[in-house]
Amino acid sequence: MAVLVERAKSGDREAFDRLVRVTHSDAYGLALRLTGSTEDARDVVQEAYLRAYKGIGRFRGDAQFSTWLYRIVANCATTHLGRRQRHRHDHLGAHDDVIDTRPDHDPALQGDRAELRERLDHAIRDLPVRLRSVVVLRDVYDLPHEAIATELGISVTAAKVRLHRARRRLREQVLPLPGEESDRG
């Protein structure tokens, strides 16, 4: 990957195309989680790679290429959703279910995990965009608070407040305590 990045930085378009091949599934997964729609995710990913192509000369290499790309995807998704919300006031639609391609080890455990994952996916989709973006970038893709705040155009404190609120909502939805279940309706 590092070799490809260096070649791409020196203007090798073929190397950049190979980076696209290696990373586009992951980038699309993030875009899908952030936007909640396959159509929007496709637009976001295309725009993100164009921005990455234009800006690869500025990539310093002190972070992983994938982390740098996630930041661009997050920024593009924020712009895309902001633009879309200005034009249309529709809510995000449900996206296709994600598929686990890892080999199964323990079918029973796998079943429990799959069920938990499905509930979690639904709960993430049901979150408002401002909460969803933060929790996906931090807790799924492990981006630092500072990077998240920068890409979403908010302060670090605001990012943390949103993150904790999002976690709390997810916990209440997916793993409710006794008494919380009846509140959920």
**In which residue are the tokens 């893709």 written?**
141
| Binding-site member from 7, 9, 20, 150 for another protein (CB under 8 A) | 20
Rule CB under 8 A: say whether 101 interacts with another protein: yes
Rule CB under 8 A: say whether 45 interacts with another protein: yes
**How far is Cα 92 from Cα 44, in angstroms, rounded to an integer?**
15
**How far is Cα 124 from Cα 139, in angstroms, rounded to an integer?**
11
Stretch that binds another protein, among 74-82, 83-91, 146-154, 164-172 (CB under 8 A): 164-172
Q: Enumerate residues 6+ apart whose C-beta is below 8 A from 57.
A: 9
Rule CB under 8 A: say whether 164 interacts with another protein: yes
3-state secondary structure of 4: helix
Rule CB under 8 A: say whether 59 interacts with another protein: no
Q: Enumerate residues 6+ apart whose C-beta is below 8 A from 89.
A: none
Residues that bind another protein (CB under 8 A): 13, 16-17, 20-21, 24-25, 28-29, 32-33, 38, 41-42, 45-47, 49-50, 53-54, 96-102, 113, 116-117, 120-121, 135, 138-142, 145, 160, 163-165, 167-168, 170-171, 174-175, 177
